[in-house]
Amino acid sequence: MSEIRIYKSKNWPQRLLEIPKPPKKLWIRGQNPNLAIKWLCVVGPRKHSEYGKEVCQKLISDLAKYPVGIISGLAFGIDSMAHQIALENNLPTISFPGSGLNDSSIYPKTHLKLAEEILEKNSCLISEFAPDFQATHWAFPQRNRLMVGFAHAVLVIEAGEKSGTLITANMAIDYNKEILAVPGSIFSSMSIGTNNLIKQGAVPVRNFEDILEVLNIEKNNCSNTLDLEKFNLSALEKKILFSINEKTQTKNELCENLDVSIGDINQIITSLELKGLLVEREGKICQK
């Protein structure tokens, strides 16, 4: 897999620096996250229901044409499912494992292949633990605060009455993050936690439009709702396009903000210009 390096604090989102006890150092493997898009933290139980699986699949798939990235923790259940669905739909994803980032440290071991897929598709793994740190019980709540801190909002797919997922939800409340929860059957033990969150003020999620509203993304007027599939864009092309749609930038600014070489930037900008999606005016890359 790609090399492990220090994730420089100048590239962190300001919201991560504003949480209680922000990290002093972060390690990263893969592409620096695109800070021009909205990041949604998706959490849920390891032992989810079929309903939870279907909801996770539907909501993330429906976000595929929007400037949204998915954050989760690489764990069994909803976490790994959220990463996998994001990858299948060419959405960027960030994994915060409760371990270091060495191949020998990644937890759980069975998700090393998923971690490799994340890196292959221009996404990343981030950890504040040293690369050879082995996962321990206390490390997971500690990493959860980073997932919440990096995200614009937190989506809870399912949660039992005393689910560990609610620890992350409560962190989001403490950090003044928007919390979204999927309502469920009153007869399902897996929906007690989410239904209680809604009772306490969480946004009930009926469809992906509810998520877009919380993330302040226009459904019909957003330029990113173009049918990008017909252009057969790579993950990196989409990343640059979404970044430009957020604000015009120079090529050097794109290099800095996206941690991409100038050679790759020049090649991709040319490709996107030929496809009629971008144009360069007076040194600035603009939406066509």
Q: What is the pLDDT of residue 225?
A: 43
Alpha-carbon gap, residue 26 to 150, rounded angstroms: 12
Beta pairing partners, 230: none
Domains of the chain (ranges, CATH numbers): 4-214 (3.40.50.450), 226-287 (1.10.10.10)
Closest C-alpha among 205, 210, 237 to residue 90 = 237
Residue 125's alpha-carbon distances to 87, 88, 206, 228, in angstroms, are: 14, 17, 30, 26
Pairing of strands 27-30, 4-6: antiparallel
Q: What is the pLDDT of residue 288?
A: 58
Query: What is the rounded radius of gyration, in angstroms, for the C-alpha atoms of the chain?
Result: 19
Q: What is the pLDDT of residue 47?
A: 86
Structure tokens at 247: 């604000």
- The DSSP element (H or E) to which 39 belongs, if any, is strand 38-43
Task: Give the sign of the dihedral formed by CA 54, CA 58, CA 61, CA 63.
Answer: negative
Cis peptide before 108 (omega within 30 of 0): yes
Alpha-carbon gap, residue 39 to 197, rounded angstroms: 21
Per-residue pLDDT of the chain (288 residues; tens, 9 = 90+): 579 999 999 999 999 999 999 999 999 999 899 998 999 999 998 889 899 999 999 999 999 889 999 999 999 899 999 999 999 998 999 999 999 999 999 999 999 999 999 999 889 999 999 999 999 999 999 999 999 999 999 999 999 888 888 989 999 999 999 999 999 999 999 899 999 999 999 999 999 999 999 999 987 544 444 455 667 778 788 778 777 765 678 888 888 878 888 888 888 888 888 777 777 777 778 765
The one-character DSSP state at 251 is H
Q: What is the pLDDT of residue 259?
A: 81
Closest C-alpha among 220, 197, 195 to residue 209 = 220
Q: What is the pLDDT of residue 161?
A: 86
Residue 66's alpha-carbon distances to 21, 43, 218, 243, 260, in angstroms, are: 32, 20, 9, 12, 22
What's this model's pTM, rounded to 2 decimal places?
0.78
Residue 28's alpha-carbon distances to 31, 96, 108, 279, 287, in angstroms, are: 8, 10, 18, 32, 30
Residue with tokens 């989810």: 48
Q: What is the pLDDT of residue 164?
A: 84
Structure tokens at 4: 């492990």
Closest C-alpha among 131, 64, 60 to residue 99 = 131
**CB of 66 closer than 8 Å to CB of 241:** no
